[in-house]
Amino acid sequence: MSILDNIVSATAQRVAREKAESGDIPEQKSVRPFIFEQVLNGTEMSFICEIKKASPSKGVISEDFSYIDIAYEYTNAGAAAISVLTEPEFFLGANHYLTNIRKAVDTPMLRKDFIIDPFQIFQSAALGADAILLICAILSPAEIEEYIHIADRLGLSCLVEAHNESEVKTAIAAGARIIGVNNLDLRIFEVDIENSVRLRNLVPDDIIFVSESGIQTAEDVTLLRKNGVNAVLIGETLMRASDKKAALRALRGNPL
């Protein structure tokens, strides 16, 4: 089994436990419908800054995981949105990270997890998320379409993640308004930033295009900007930076 298969298996067990513990979650509509996609829809490149403690490929990234302080730093640095990892076993995330950050800052938030059940969409809204991640590699085309419809009903945006041409076409056919191309192959955990460049032309201009993973330098950002990328999702590079405001400024090409 690949790492992704293991993550999905663990997620299925977690969701079963959470459903048994909490029962049905009441439908909770967003008070700021689709704010996540609204903030990414500007003329300038947007930055989605990620809060994560660990990853399966790199292990623990942040020993001193002051996640609320990090959220403040990202907000003060001008992040368009914040991505919060809530997957507990492989990324050491937690649902309460998201709820506590929601109380601290108003910046739109993406719940970064492995959504495989409608229960998690209702849960995401209850936790305070403004958007959810839908991964083409772990969902059928019918599930992606169904989950987008559920999220739409709640006012949540969907970042539909693809890694190859087939998945991009699936995301478009399902009605995705935001497509994130992951430069990381989730099955073997290898990164190639050119993946976003190769796939950009497949996505119509009226769909927000996000490049995810492996973005480390201002040169990377410039390359993506020149190829029409609307937003970048950056995690490890910022999480390892002691001064996240300065790091984000440098990525934008304004180091001083």
What positions carry a catalytic annotation? 50, 52, 112, 161, 182, 212-213
Cα 55 from Cα 53, distance rounded (Å): 7
Pure H helices in the chain: 3-22, 35-39, 67-76, 95-104, 118-127, 141-154, 165-173, 194-199, 218-226, 236-239, 244-251
Residue with tokens 């623990």: 60
Cα 38 from Cα 30, distance rounded (Å): 14
Cα 81 from Cα 110, distance rounded (Å): 7
Cβ contacts of 239 within 8 Å, gap of 6 or more: 50, 51, 52, 61, 62, 70
Cα 129 from Cα 195, distance rounded (Å): 28
